[in-house]
Structure 1
Amino acid sequence: MKRLAVYLKPFLPRMGMGISFKAVGTLVELAIPWILSYIIDDLIPLKEIRLVCLWGGLMIVCSLIAWGGNITANRMASAVARDCTRQIRHDLFQKISYLSESRVDAFTIPSLISRMTSDTYVLHQTVGMIQRIGIRAPLLLFGGIIVSLTMDPMLTLIMVASLPIVGVIVFYVSRKGAKLFKIVQKASDSMLRVVRENAVGVRVIKALSKSDYERARFKKVNDDLTEKERTAESTMALINPVMSLLLNLGIVAVITVGAVRVNNGTSEIGKIIAFMNLYTIVLNALMAINRIFMMLSRASASSARVLEVLDTPVELFETEPHFSFLPKDAPHVEFDHVTFRYARGSFAVRNIDFALKRGETLGIIGATGAGKSTIIRLLMRYYDVSEGSVKIDGVDIRDYATSDLRAKFGVVFQNDTLFKDTIRENIRLGRNLTDEQLLEAARRAQALEFIEEQGGLDAPVAIKGANLSGGQKQRLLLARALAGDPDILLLDDSSSALDYRTDAKLREEIRLHCADATKIIIAQRISSIMHAEKIMVLENGNVIGMGTHEELMETCPLYREIGESQIGEGLAKEVRA
């Protein structure tokens, strides 16, 4: 919470003004019971109607000042909470955007979404409540005690006798509640994960008639979250009945002692009535402080989760390169005995070693899970290698500024994403590209015809390209990759939804117009990579074959088996045209 208080610093002047309004309204409100006591005990016996009306009018004025001050302060508190939370969300989103994939894997996507939404909402509520009730409640509590002392010290002692007991209970329960709410937030992450998986895979679930299974899976995590919330809320709910019991017992004691004192002539009826009003004010103030402690318990857990992300070092973000010149005659792309394993799994790739000259093409083929996509992610430095090094132009990619490194690539990932926007913005993706460049990239990607049918570059694209076919989505993604004339073109199974004719045209356009770009193409079809200068065959993260199409047909049984199954034994053995 201390770290998050830094976000409130720019709003301190506005908070100070709001607190001033809140303090004035609260203090004026405390004057009303005292005025009532004065009217009943001192003015009514005089039978001076004019004075009674005058002081009664003063009570109305005090009520209006308290009402106006509280409303103004509450509006200002809401504005501060809104703006502060907006800045926290901005910084959190920015931090998440620069996290390495290994860090994202450690947090998990559902947890990051939960921290961005529910946790920041809890902080928003807390910041607002602290300004609205955190100032008002203590002023009412201590101000009510001070005013009551001026009227009847004996009754005040009875009233405050229960406060230490209440304080101990609130402290103990709130401390335990903070730990419980942290567990609740983790359970919320699990439920969000299941909901997200169901939303993404809804078509598969319906197609395989797995709705009952998924409902049961959701019920399990939902019941787990409900149980943890019940435990946390039940623990925090102990405070209210205990406070109510102690304070109601106090009221009974005040009425009893007050009646005795009035009967003995040591107190007056007006003071007892005013004292009951003050006791109600103090009671409400204590209940409000209880709500603050409950909210602070939740906020403590949420702030720890938010700070865990904000304090995570951004491993892969550098703004300045760590080299002064590029070595001459170095390969454009080089993997030097690279080995990598994910944090929670076995080795993804082992001893990957190859070098590509500028303009060369590397085709990668292999079974699912062989490590093909991992090579692209290592090249773009989404992950750092466990052993060896990855170099571009002879320089280790860890020595490049991240922005400079990523600017070299045009990439289409497997299962890549289209955004809810226009076709223009989905191809441009924030880069400074003209419409002519976008249309040229679309033409090379064989997407121009369907773009014109859709209505041109201003045609809308639904979330994840839901209004486009699989082939149209892939061609739009290819246009995005080609639009920036990248130095290195990375295509990860980017033509699986294209027919053979369109795939052949695409490869021809890439050959003619991307001659200077080094290309790494991951494919399931041998026809997509058989013309590459180098072809790598992967199996379980190991290179089991490297060479041209003809060489691998002779030396690599797996490659030969794939080739013969896809294009026939005779064609597979033909020499490249």
Structure 2
Amino acid sequence: MRTVLGYLKPYRLRVACGVLIKFAAAVLELILPLLLAHVIDDLVPLGDMGPIWRTGGVMAAVAFGAIGCNITANRMAAWVSMEMTRTLRRDLYEQTVRLSCAQMDRFSVSSLVSRLTNDTYNVHQMVDKVQRGGIRAPMLVLGGLTLTFLLEPVLALVQLCVCTATFFTIYRVTRRGIPRYAASQAAVDTVVRIIRENASGVRVIKALGCQGRERRRFDEANAAARDRESAAGGVMAAANPTTDFLLNVGLILVVLVGALRVQEGRMASGQIVAFLSYFTLIQTATLGVSKTFLRISKGAASARRIEQVLRAPMDQPVIASEAASSAELGMQDVSFSYLGVEQDLSAASFAIRRGQTLGILGPTGSGKTTLVSLLLRLYDADEGTVWVGGADVRTRQRRELSGRFGVVFQNDTLLAGTVYENISFLRRLPREEVERAARTAQAWEFITGMPGGLDAAVELRGANLSGGQRQRLLVARALAGRPPVLVLDSADSALDYRTASALHAAVRREFPDITLVVISERIASLRRADHILVLEEGRITHQGSHEELMKHCPRYGRMARLQMGEEAV
């Protein structure tokens, strides 16, 4: 993977052209003090206004030429930085999408959002500022010093000493500023995370009256971000006042030494004016360098954070294996841990054939969703083998594996758009397929009651729908692509028993060959499953049919009697 600055390579010709134009502008700016000295020392004593007007016209043309060159180069720099950042942000987004869930856990979603927005902006500003001032300013400094040494070496030494002190100050300030800006970006990640948590959980926060606590939590994170930004800004704030002080000291020294040289007859008065012009020009360029280094400080810290994502290795490679199984879905001695401290799933083994239904039951935190995540290869098992379609899940390409599953997760979300767009989900499915999926999911009745039917508006996260309506739309989305395997992770928790029963019956009727995985706390949703897993603390304690579990699993039998009553059981 190329570095962030490697994204400038496609635009190297335009950058080179901009550098040449900036060089021409710098040459024109450096000529002006020489022409001014010529007017004062050579033309004014003659008393002839003709040559003075002509030279003044040349100076005006040179000034306008410098302005035109700088405007042109700046427009080119702006275009290059925008296009480079657009490509960088696109690749960063694509890499973020390709990251495994384990990698996203390590980076954190809030940090990835910050890198996609704030960090790419800082890189954009760095590239733009370097092209505008980072090229022109050194040219003016080097060119000005060269000309002043040719005019008067003694005054040039004064100017060189001031420039050296200025650059040393900028170097020291920048060296201390870059680590502080990196820490500041990490603090911004925390602020973004808290904002995301509050935005997604606003209803719960208001329902429990936790606004004050969340406000304090945000204030603490915001204050930490402010303190780190203040620490970085406090270091960088020393640059401009110090360089201004050195500029003023240098001007005083140039005037004093120059006056002595004129008094001794070793230089003309026009040369002092030229030197003052050059000194102001050089110091202004030096200040531009300090501002450029400020942008580089932020941009370099952001570029390193972006490269961490771009260079993240693919930790879920496709392997070659001839091992096969007769199971459509299954596991063999699978163990897994999210953090590597304790097992979240231990020695899990089961197998179901195509067209069968797998039920999964267990308390919160028992490993139900973890088991499904391993089947989907959102994570890789630490030990054992996961079977999908009769093959090791690690031998299947990501696109092929995703095409085999239709999934409704426990905390799934809806997009801001129409009902059709939410069910089709960017797959451009025929409306007939969408309608069939909606009917099977028991959603068609309330969809037709909405203004516009399939074209009715759905707000972000389904805010204008009830919990049951959202779940039925999500089931319709999973069914619309006719997947071989359908996973329902607590997808009927907001449905009444009658609707949930009708949904499961319709799925079996309309999609008879589908392999169904149902995670639920409702025995009524699991009792007709061909194979049921009972999980506790990451272990499959019992497995079998409903009848077998009623006989051999006390917990399952107790839950069945509590939910369905003795007579129903």
Return the alpha-carbon distance in structure 1 between the equivalents of residues 44 and 448 of structure 2: 88
2:164 is matched with 164
Matched residues, percent identical? 42
2:519 is matched with 522
Question: What is the DSSP-based 3-state SS (H/G/I as helix, E as strand, rest coil) of the residue aligned with 1:558?
Answer: helix
Change (3 A) 1:486 1:235: same
- Equivalent positions of 1:82-93 (< 5 A) are 82-93=82-93
Return the alpha-carbon distance in structure 1 between the equivalents of residues 46 and 446 of structure 2: 94
Q: Deviations over 1:56-105 (max 9, x none)?
A: 11111111111111111111111111110111111111111011111110
Return the alpha-carbon distance in structure 2 between the equivalents of residues 430 and 94 of structure 1: 17
2:389 is matched with 393
**Is the CA contact 2:317–2:394 (under 8 Å) kept in the aligned structure 1?**
no
User: Does 2:477 align with 1:464?
Assistant: no
Of residues 118-127 and 187-196 in structure 1, the stretch that sits farther from structure 2 once superposed is 187-196
Question: What is the DSSP-based 3-state SS (H/G/I as helix, E as strand, rest coil) of the residue aligned with 1:512?
Answer: helix
Q: Deviations over 1:373-408 (max 9, x none)?
A: 111100000000011110123311101111111110
**Is the CA contact 1:98–1:316 (under 8 Å) kept in the aligned structure 2?**
no
**What is the CA-CA distance between 1:345 and the residue it aligns to?**
5.0
Unpaired segments of 5 or more residues in structure 2? none
Return the alpha-carbon distance in structure 2 between the equivalents of residues 152 and 466 of structure 1: 76
Question: What is the DSSP-based 3-state SS (H/G/I as helix, E as strand, rest coil) of the residue aligned with 2:455?
Answer: coil
2:5 is matched with 5
User: What amino acid maps onto 1:374 in structure 2?
Assistant: T
Unpaired segments of 5 or more residues in structure 1? none
- Equivalent positions of 1:412-423 (< 5 A) are 412-423=408-419
User: What amino acid maps onto 1:476 in structure 2?
Assistant: L
Return the alpha-carbon distance in structure 1 between the equivalents of residues 99 and 374 of structure 2: 15
1:260 is matched with 260
Question: What is the DSSP-based 3-state SS (H/G/I as helix, E as strand, rest coil) of the residue aligned with 2:174?
Answer: helix
Return the alpha-carbon distance in structure 2 between the equivalents of residues 280 and 570 of structure 1: 97
**What is the CA-CA distance between 1:203 and the residue it aligns to?**
1.7
Return the alpha-carbon distance in structure 2 between the equivalents of residues 428 and 503 of structure 1: 22
Q: Deviations over 1:18-40 (max 9, x none)?
A: 22222212221121111111111
1:122 is matched with 122
Change (3 A) 1:560 1:2: closer
Question: What is the DSSP-based 3-state SS (H/G/I as helix, E as strand, rest coil) of the residue aligned with 1:568?
Answer: helix
Question: What is the DSSP-based 3-state SS (H/G/I as helix, E as strand, rest coil) of the residue aligned with 1:384?
Answer: coil
1:322 is matched with 320
Runs of 4+ in 1 over 4 A off after TM superposition: none
1:367 is matched with 363
1:338 is matched with 334
Question: What is the DSSP-based 3-state SS (H/G/I as helix, E as strand, rest coil) of the residue aligned with 1:485?
Answer: coil
User: What amino acid maps onto 1:562 in structure 2?
Assistant: M
Return the alpha-carbon distance in structure 2 between the equivalents of residues 529 and 306 of structure 1: 46
User: Does 2:421 align with 1:425?
Assistant: yes
User: Does 2:495 align with 1:495?
Assistant: no
User: Does 2:44 align with 1:47?
Assistant: no
Q: How many residues align?
A: 568
2:196 is matched with 196
Q: Deviations over 1:293-348 (max 9, x none)?
A: 22222222111111111111122355xx8367x95x71111111111111255311
Return the alpha-carbon distance in structure 1 between the equivalents of residues 115 and 561 of structure 2: 51
Return the alpha-carbon distance in structure 2 between the equivalents of residues 344 and 79 of structure 1: 47
1:563 is matched with 560
Return the alpha-carbon distance in structure 1 between the equivalents of residues 454 and 249 of structure 2: 74
- Equivalent positions of 1:474-553 (< 5 A) are 474-553=471-550
User: Does 2:441 align with 1:453?
Assistant: no
User: What amino acid maps onto 1:440 in structure 2?
Assistant: R
1:29 is matched with 29
User: What amino acid maps onto 1:285 in structure 2?
Assistant: A
- Equivalent positions of 1:215-294 (< 5 A) are 215-294=215-294
1:183 is matched with 183
1:434 is matched with 430
**What is the CA-CA distance between 1:409 and the residue it aligns to?**
0.5
Change (3 A) 1:6 1:47: same
Return the alpha-carbon distance in structure 2 between the equivalents of residues 344 and 107 of structure 1: 16
**What is the CA-CA distance between 1:246 and the residue it aligns to?**
2.4
- Equivalent positions of 1:306-321 (< 5 A) are 306-316=306-316, 318=318
User: What amino acid maps onto 1:30 in structure 2?
Assistant: L
1:38 is matched with 38
Return the alpha-carbon distance in structure 2 between the equivalents of residues 160 and 451 of structure 1: 78
- Equivalent positions of 1:89-108 (< 5 A) are 89-108=89-108
Q: Deviations over 1:530-575 (max 9, x none)?
A: 111111111111112212222222221211222222222321x2xx
**Is the CA contact 1:316–1:402 (under 8 Å) kept in the aligned structure 2?**
no
**Is the CA contact 2:437–2:479 (under 8 Å) kept in the aligned structure 1?**
yes
Return the alpha-carbon distance in structure 2 between the equivalents of residues 479 and 13 of structure 1: 52
Return the alpha-carbon distance in structure 2 between the equivalents of residues 2 and 69 of structure 1: 32
Q: Deviations over 1:188-235 (max 9, x none)?
A: 111211121112112222222211111111111111111111111112
TM-score (norm: length of structure 2)? 0.96
**Is the CA contact 1:102–1:343 (under 8 Å) kept in the aligned structure 2?**
no
Question: What is the DSSP-based 3-state SS (H/G/I as helix, E as strand, rest coil) of the residue aligned with 2:69?
Answer: helix
User: What amino acid maps onto 1:441 in structure 2?
Assistant: A
Return the alpha-carbon distance in structure 2 between the equivalents of residues 424 and 105 of structure 1: 32
